[in-house]
Structure 1
Amino acid sequence: MAKRKPKKRTEDYKKQVGQVPGAVIYTGKKDFNPLLMESFDYNSDFCNEKQLKSVEEAFAYKATDSISWININGLNNVDEIEKIGNHYHLHPLVLEDIVSTNQRPKIDEYEDYIFIVLKMMYYDAEEKIVSEQVSFVLGSNYVLTFQEAEGDVFDPLRERIRQGKGRIRGLGSDYLLYALIDSIVDHYYAIIETMGNKIEDLEDSLFEGLTKDEISTEIQSLKREVLKVRRAIFPLREIISRVDKSESKLIDQKTLHYFADVYDHIIQVSDTIDIYREMIWGLMDMYMTTISNRMNEVMKVLTIIATIFIPLTFIAGVYGMNFDNIPELHYKYGYHIVWGVMIIIFIGMMYYFKRKKWL
């Protein structure tokens, strides 16, 4: 018996099986992304944006008096990730979680920094959900973000930093962390809005009686999308709740009000996702009911046709027997009489079916 080839999802998890805890092993699928780093160093008076050419350029931001955001793309470059981690004194288990892209969203508090893992999601041009793990390290005057590949949802925040809009440049690194998380949560709203439109379109199609194979495929695809978003958003409630109860000196009490607002948004998105999940199950039931109703209509028509032909077949069978002494066999108008009786039976049965509203 041939051995079944394991699925790619299973292979991703097997990459870390048996490894020493703290081993920095990349488990993602994007193995050929170059290391791209950018930095925003700012305070209320200035903002310096820079594309970093080497890991060593990121080291200087740890000791500045300003606020620094260092964004690292390309988790497959594990050697460079380790260099950054060693300079910022990140725990080996933190580095392991950063490059392990199958992490569940979580928060870990250390003495000098707070580590958070989230799932960033958005729709691409083909309206397919792009899901990417983003890791955050909050320090006293910096925030490190680690992404698997280039492309994210932080462009509006970058523009706010450049132009000094809002409170971003007047507050600390904890507010910067809030702004980054808020950008991710805001895109969950865009996702559920698109999902809501898809559900309404499917409902309209099912109400119109459309039962194409594509509809069942769309329902299954939408169900997978809802479950993916739910797995990402559900642990966020615990993370923000932990932040709200944290006694870390890295988070100012004033910033907790902003995290409370994010928590409210997460609850709203989570409740909407649960509603959509129930609606999708309802769509599947509606689809199966529509299929069943159409099958019943077909069976009803076939049953009526068969019922009509039963007496006609009986009459034709009787007068088709090869006996010499059939009474009407030699009657001059026997053929026409038989046809008349059959037509009368047909009309009578049609009238009866109409009265019973079976037609």
Structure 2
Amino acid sequence: MKIRLVDSGVFTPVEDIEMTLTAPASGFYWLDADVDDLAELQPLFSLHDLAVEDCLSEEEQRPKIEIYENHYFIVVNSIRFDDEEIFLRALNVFLGRHFIITVTKQKIHELRSVKPLLWEDEVSTPDRFLYLLIDLVTDNYFSVGDRIEARIEKLEEDILMHTKKSHLSEIIGLRSEILWLKKVLGPQKEVINTLNKKDLRLIDDQLQKYFSDIYENAVKISETFETYRDLMGNLREAYQSSIANRANEIMRVFTAITTIFIPLTLITGIYGMNFDYMPELHWKYSYYVVIGIMVFAGALMFYLFRKKDWI
């Protein structure tokens, strides 16, 4: 656990946690903790049992805000996208009059990114810290959205240029991720709306108006992911259409080959190959040569069909 006194954006390390129990002459205390530190923090700051239980729970936490007597408990989800899967990491925040406690199970990028902003804005209040932190979390959804859009465009291009069976699993997987993420965005949007509209004594009235800007961004993000969901539906239709067109193309090739060999088969079927002078009939190795030719022809066709991804 790291404890800092933040005054006008300047960080001063604090060694004695007992100092954080009383308000400093200027600034506020930021306690950056993990879930194991809650056993020490709960009795010192009278953190509510239900809030601590939510932090310790192994289940995925729904974004929310809980109002308690001497502090607020806020849960928001930080997002991360590694080009294969979307990850949401819970950021638990206890907001007090002279302190803010951030509790996480994994490292969250926004907690590092907020530090230069505190210096730049000369932050001296915990509610201002909360605003900047949630603003960073929300903005990160835009950057992840841009990467998802780029992946959709790349997938669409690949499908149109060269359709593969693996594309369907990619479409289904990405669409599931988007639907899941959109489901999570609803509660998070409501948390930000509460910070914007509800009368909260631990958040300055002037600062509270700034949360409306974050709320507008949250609405835009929700609408953007709704668009992505529709795009994934269109992408699946494009995949199915491409597969159908490709099947028609394959059938066209097979039909052409069959048409070429039908007359030859008809001739050999009716007239036969019963000639008196066929040198190969009395050759010692004719049988093995014919079998070898058939095996080679079958293997060659299999290789060509696999190379063209027809089978």
TM-score, scaled to structure 1: 0.69
Tell me the SS of whatever aligns to 2:222: helix
Secondary structure of 1:182's counterpart equals helix
Structure of higher RCO (CA pairs closer than 8 Å, 6+ residues apart):
2
Residue pair 2:31, 2:101 contacting (<8 A) in 1 also = yes
Q: Is the alpha carbon distance of 1:140 and 1:51 closer, same or farther for their aligned partners in structure 2, counting shifts above 3 Å?
A: closer
Give distance in 2, aligned partners of 1:83 and 1:221: 41
Match for residue 165 of structure 1 among 120, 141, 160 = 120
Please give the alpha-carbon distance, in whole angstroms, between the structure 2 residues aligned to 1:239 and 1:291: 44
Aligned 1:195-234 pairs, distance under 5 A: 195-208=148-161, 210-234=162-186
CA distance in 2, matches of 1:130, 1:309: 57
> Hey, what's the Cα distance between the residues in 2 that align with 1:245 and 1:263?
10
- Alignment-mate amino acid for residue 134 of structure 2: I
Residue 178 in structure 1 maps to residue 141 in structure 2: no
In the alignment, what sits opposite 2:242?
290
Deviations 1:148-200 (A, max 9, x none): 03343222311233xx312523xx32121111111111111111111111111
Name the count of aligned residue pairs.
271
For residues 275-297 of structure 1, the C-alpha deviation after alignment (integer angstroms, 9 at most, x for no partner) is 11111222222222212211121
Which residue number in structure 2 is paired with residue 191 of structure 1?
144
Which has the larger helix fraction?
Answer: 2
CA RMSD of aligned residues (A): 2.4
Q: How much has 1:310 moved relative to structure 2?
A: 4.0
Residue 109, structure 1, aligned to residue 67, structure 2:
yes
Measured after TM superposition, the shift of residue 115 of structure 1 is: 1.0
* Runs of 5+ consecutive residues of structure 1 not aligned to the other structure: 1-36, 323-359
Corresponding residue number in structure 2 for 1:244: 196
Deviation at 1:220, TM superposition (A): 3.4
1:72 partner amino acid: A
| Identical-pair percentage | 31
Residues 9-28 of structure 1 mapped to structure 2, 5 A cutoff: none
Q: Say whether 1:255 aligns with 2:207.
A: yes
Q: CA deviation at 1:59?
A: 4.0
In 1, Cα distance between equivalents of 2:142 and 2:176: 17
Aligned to 1:50: 13
How many angstroms apart in 2 are the aligned matches of 1:154 and 1:123? 17
**How far does the alpha carbon of each residue in 1:86-145 deviate from its partner, in whole angstroms, 9 at most, with x for none?**
221121111101112411111111222111111111235x76544311101111121111
- Shift in CA distance, 185/297, structure 1 to aligned 2, threshold 3 Å: same
Give 3-state SS (helix, strand or coil) of 2:142's partner. helix
Contact 1:59 1:84 in 2 (8 A): no
Write out per-residue CA displacement over residues 243-296 of structure 1, whole angstroms, 9 at most, x where no aligned residue.
Answer: 223222112211122110110111111111111111122222222221221112
In the superposition, the TM-score normalised over structure 2's length comes to 0.78
Partner of 2:94, secondary structure, is strand
Specify the SS of the correspondent of 2:134.
Answer: helix
